[in-house]
């Protein structure tokens, strides 16, 4: 099956609808993207989140990233899934929004960082796969994702605006509006988004507890006294609510407040190309309960209100040390404080009257340097090194042990303890050009990852020996990346392969029978965090062909891994996935289709996984067909429509969470994906 899919992927394809009435129009709103943009640079994918796309345009960061080969998403409901890159989830992926770090508050990952990201409000999304950069905070061992807005400077007084509306099945409706205006000396930019959907139905017509509403507002004011200087003050506010099909509570508040300031000075001297600095404040206030968005069946009303305050800064300089050498050096820092309060009772609790209790603090200071050196006309070496000084403090006085019925509280054995650790990460990559059409690259990277809040503190996780996981070791990933990119005539080819070894991989295991010294409590079933050694390897490939009005494109992604300590498959790895299709575009209108083929996954380790989820069992493969069309009646205007899951297939992603027992809904093994889904979207850009 896998060999057959691999052959088909390399011979067939889908790519972008070419709504290229002219080159300027294409730059205005881009073309419809039905897989993902091609990898034009080694290990780097850059894409426009405003471009219309199929499947259904994304409403949060994870939903957007899953369209890029190598990414999957752990489904929990209609929104707020956790992205997975090359089988790695959570803090193994470094995610930044306009250069800022966002950390969610929920101890059970209701609100991963991507839950606070509204893709269409940004201008560019950059994915750097593998530990192949050190510039953006602690290195993501799986990769780094940057959601960015383009810098602004008006050569003369003017303005521009962007807007879109989307309507779809299951009550889906989105509105996006953004505008900016100014002169040579100043600018103002603002935007607003809203996305709403009712419960969706899977292919069997079963309702999935998945409704949500989310909104965001952003505003930035900038001063540009000359062409080389920018000073910007920005603020963001967002909130929402979301129903979850995988648990006993829903998210009824996702309140985020942000303030940021940025400074950039360019072309300072022959040596100093640029100096950039930014500082930010993020506050996330999250509430979950078991009664607002569902029929309460438990005997008691339950509510939990975690929050997290994150502050950070970054200072960097780009240096041109010689005509062939460019270096970036700098320092960054972040600190976050997490608190929690909860309540339960026979009547609706007054959570606002409860005091917040601080349970953990984390801080990090990092120094970094990255160099690109040209060696003649066809060779480049890019290398980087950073050191991170970490501090964490466990402020919990007590912990909850035992999962399910009979959970109870015991004294925290690591209460008041703190940890300090200096970790180093680095990489080196060689790129060689064969003429103007082909680039071959080889990269070697190493990252040391400090355990995150969810691995050390949250959700009643224990170690193998005590009721606290606070002393879990850092994770060490050493990875080799190789690949080739070729653009020749109508053809585009990209192949990226990797293999790594992960020492002290942080594994989360549920339903572990444990004995110890807790009076009257043993044996007990718990969730534990432990370090194991692991290996993963895999590849992503894309092949595209464009001739006249026809576009063909395809992509394939595969990852395989082993827990070498236990002699078991590494858990929570997605199966082989292929995307294929074809499209016909005239420049005014287009029509096309997408076929997504996912193989079965029989390499599982039931009960093991990561902080987001654990393996449930094997899964069968599935095939999903989708079609789309678009019309460009005039410059800057695009009308697009599509039908996702055309054949109404009933399926779930292998890595998705278990379905929970919820009153009024039929429980499923996993959280199933939406069935047949119609949508239409209108976009306009004004200059």
Q: How is the chain split into domains, by residue range? A: 2-686
Banded pLDDT at 13 (limits 50, 70, 90): very low
pLDDT at 15 over 80: no
pLDDT at 136 over 60: yes
CA pair distance 279, 599, nearest whole angstrom: 45
pLDDT at 39 over 90: no
Banded pLDDT at 624 (limits 50, 70, 90): very high
pLDDT at 34 over 50: yes
DSSP 8-state secondary structure symbol assigned to residue 121 = G
CA proximity to 667, closest of 616, 628, 627, 625: 616
- Across-strand partners of 553? 544, 581
CA pair distance 33, 592, nearest whole angstrom: 11
Banded pLDDT at 408 (limits 50, 70, 90): confident
CA pair distance 128, 143, nearest whole angstrom: 6
pLDDT at 460: 78
CA pair distance 277, 261, nearest whole angstrom: 8
**Lowest mean pLDDT across 14-23, 503-512, 656-665:** 14-23
- Across-strand partners of 145? 95, 127
Q: Are 258 and 100 in contact (CB under 8 A)?
A: yes
pLDDT at 525: 83
How confident is the model over 195-240, as pLDDT tens digits? 999 999 999 999 999 999 999 999 999 999 999 999 999 999 999 9
- Please state, rounded to an integer, the average pLDDT across all residues of the chain: 91
pLDDT at 116: 93
Banded pLDDT at 8 (limits 50, 70, 90): very low
SS3 for 92? helix
pLDDT at 150 over 70: yes
pLDDT at 28: 41
Unique residue bearing structure tokens 């299951």:
170
Mean of pLDDT values over 317-342: 97
pLDDT at 36 over 70: no
Banded pLDDT at 459 (limits 50, 70, 90): confident
pLDDT at 33: 54
pLDDT at 336 over 50: yes
pLDDT at 385 over 60: yes
Banded pLDDT at 662 (limits 50, 70, 90): very high
pLDDT at 297: 87
Residue by residue, what is the 3-state secondary structure of 342-408?
A: EEEECCCCCHHHCCCEEEEEEEEEEEEEEEEEEECCCEEEEEEEEEEEEEEEECCCEEEECCCCCCE
CA pair distance 217, 228, nearest whole angstrom: 28
Q: How many CA within 13 A on the CB side of residue 587? A: 7
pLDDT at 21 over 60: no
DSSP 8-state secondary structure symbol assigned to residue 66 = T
> Considering the entire predicted model, what is its pTM?
0.93
Residue 465: count other Cβ atoms within 10 Å of its Cβ: 12
pLDDT at 389: 98
How confident is the model over 481-524, as pLDDT tens digits? 999 999 999 999 999 999 999 999 999 999 888 876 555 566 77
Classify domain 2-686 at the CATH superfamily level.
TonB-dependent receptor, beta-barrel domain (2.40.170.20)
Unique residue bearing structure tokens 């593998």:
130
How confident is the model over 547-593, as pLDDT tens digits? 999 999 999 999 999 999 999 999 999 999 999 989 999 989 999 99
- Residue 461 tokens read as 């996780």
pLDDT at 19: 31
- Residue 317 tokens read as 């300089």
pLDDT at 44 over 80: yes
């Amino acid at each position: 099956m896998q060999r057959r899919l691999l052959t088909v992927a390399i011979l067939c394809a889908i790519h972008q609808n070419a709504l290229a009435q002219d080159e300027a129009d294409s730059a205005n709103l881009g073309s419809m993207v039905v897989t993902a943009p091609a990898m034009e640079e080694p290990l780097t994918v850059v894409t426009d989140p405003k471009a219309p796309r199929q499947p259904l345009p994304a409403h949060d960061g994870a939903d957007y990233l899953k369209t890029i080969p190598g990414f999957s998403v752990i489904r929990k409901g209609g929104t707020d899934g956790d992205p997975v890159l090359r089988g790695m989830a959570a803090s193994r992926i470094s995610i930044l929004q306009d250069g800022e770090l966002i950390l969610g508050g929920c101890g059970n990952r209701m609100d991963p960082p991507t839950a606070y990201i509204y893709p269409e409000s940004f201008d560019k999304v950059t994915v750097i796969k593998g530990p192949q950069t050190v510039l953006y905070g602690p290195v993501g061992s799986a990769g780094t994702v940057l959601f960015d807005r383009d810098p602004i400077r008006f050569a003369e007084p003017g303005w521009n605006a962007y807007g879109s509306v989307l309507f779809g099945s299951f009550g889906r409706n989105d509105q996006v509006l953004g505008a900016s205006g100014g002169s040579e000396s100043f600018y103002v930019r603002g935007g607003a988004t809203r996305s709403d959907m009712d419960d969706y139905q899977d292919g069997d017509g079963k309702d999935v507890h998945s409704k949500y509403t989310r909104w965001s507002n952003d505003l930035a004011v900038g001063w540009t006294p000359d062409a080389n200087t920018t000073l910007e003050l920005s603020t963001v506010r967002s909130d929402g609510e979301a129903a979850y099909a995988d648990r006993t509570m829903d998210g009824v508040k996702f309140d985020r407040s942000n303030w940021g300031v940025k400074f950039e000075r360019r072309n300072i001297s022959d040596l100093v190309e640029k100096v950039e600095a930014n500082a930010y404040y993020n506050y996330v206030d999250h509430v979950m309960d078991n009664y607002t968005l569902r029929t309460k069946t438990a005997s008691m009303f339950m509510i939990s209100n975690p929050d997290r305050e994150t502050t950070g800064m970054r200072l960097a300089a780009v240096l041109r040390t010689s005509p062939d050498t460019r270096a970036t050096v700098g320092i960054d820092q972040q600190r976050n404080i997490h608190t929690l309060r909860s309540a339960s009772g026979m009547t609706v609790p007054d959570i606002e009257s409860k005091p917040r209790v601080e349970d953990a603090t984390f801080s990090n200071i990092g120094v970094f340097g990255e160099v690109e050196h040209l060696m003649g006309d066809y060779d480049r070496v890019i290398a980087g090194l950073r050191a991170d000084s970490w501090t964490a403090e466990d402020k919990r006085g007590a912990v909850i042990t035992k999962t399910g019925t009979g959970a109870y509280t015991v004294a925290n054995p690591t209460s008041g303890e703190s940890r300090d650790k200096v970790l180093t990460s680095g990489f080196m990559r060689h790129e060689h050009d064969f003429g103007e059409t082909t680039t071959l690259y080889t990269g070697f990277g190493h990252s040391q990852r400090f355990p995150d809040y969810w691995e050390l503190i949250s959700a009643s996780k224990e170690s193998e020996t005590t009721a606290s996981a606070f002393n879990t070791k850092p994770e060490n990933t050493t990875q080799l990346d190789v690949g080739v990119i070729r653009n020749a005539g109508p053809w585009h080819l990209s192949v990226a392969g990797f293999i790594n070894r992960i020492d002290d991989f942080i594994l989360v295991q549920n339903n572990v029978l444990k004995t110890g010294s807790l009076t009257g409590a043993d044996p007990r079933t718990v969730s534990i965090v432990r370090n194991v050694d692991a290996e993963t390897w895999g590849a992503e490939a894309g092949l595209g062909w464009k001739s006249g009005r026809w576009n063909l494109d395809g992509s394939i992604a595969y990852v395989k891994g082993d827990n070498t300590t236990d002699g078991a498959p590494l858990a929570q790895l997605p199966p082989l996935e292929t995307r294929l299709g074809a499209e016909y575009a005239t420049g005014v209108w287009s029509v096309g289709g997408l076929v997504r083929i996912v193989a079965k996954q029989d390499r599982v380790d039931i009960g093991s996984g990561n902080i987001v989820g654990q393996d449930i069992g094997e899964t069968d493969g599935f095939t999903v067909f989708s079609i789309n069309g678009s019309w460009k009646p005039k410059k800057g205007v695009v009308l697009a429509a599509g039908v996702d899951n055309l054949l109404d297939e009933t399926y779930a992603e292998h890595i998705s969470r278990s379905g929970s027992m919820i009153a009024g809904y039929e429980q499923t093994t996993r959280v199933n994906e939406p069935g047949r889904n119609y949508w239409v979207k209108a976009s306009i850009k004004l200059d």
